[in-house]
Structure 1
């Protein structure tokens, strides 16, 4: 895990509510970060978004149970499918920072 985490469930200095338990494996470096701001602060390169064709990749980590899920599964979920930990719905507003927009 990279970035400024504040606990063992992947919360960081930028996002640390009870529902902020997701870390994303960034497409550009294949490293898990809790958020785009952590990546910007620690990485020596610009972030790149996951292409839609690769959304089957296990690129999301639930900090509550430490299991991974695919981008497709994550984007369809409001909770972890493994442990039922709730995910922060506000993260959807930042999806474009992590994932390419699907074609209409």
Structure 2
């Protein structure tokens, strides 16, 4: 996994990636956007700070990390994140409501 600082941006973001839009204790993830290779806490942060429309993480890049735990900086794939209720590295709980926005962040397989 790459080291060094990530391109991470958010509106009013705290040290655990909570932003001005989502500030619950369990709002501790950032999502990588394929359009700019930048990590944002939410789609609203991307809308406010980027100069382009958001593009969901492509299914073809599913083996690459697309989600960051804001507590411990563990990176995971979209499928790892979608299958977990907490960080596999530090066990920080994730907001289950975030998964309702999954199509905004990830290109998901079509269901028959």
TM-score tier after normalising by the smaller chain length? over 0.9
Per the normalisation by structure 1, the TM-score is 0.95
In the alignment, which residue of structure 2 is the partner of 1:14?
A: 21
Question: Residues 49-87 of structure 1: CA distance to partner in whole angstroms, max 9, x if unpaired?
Answer: 112221211111100001111111011110000000000
Count of residue correspondences: 104
Could you list the runs of 5+ residues in structure 2 that have no partner in the other structure?
1-7
Deviation at residue 31 of structure 1 after TM alignment: 0.3
Could you list the runs of 5+ residues in structure 1 that have no partner in the other structure?
none
Per the normalisation by structure 2, the TM-score is 0.88
CA RMSD of aligned residues (A): 1.0
Preserved contact between residue 56 and residue 105 of structure 2 (Cα < 8 Å) = yes
Structure 1 segments (4+ residues) deviating >6 Å: none
In the alignment, which residue of structure 2 is the partner of 1:88?
A: 95
Write out aligned runs for 1:1-104 (5 A).
1-104=8-111
Counterparts of 1:80 and 1:55 in 2: how far apart (Å)?
Answer: 18
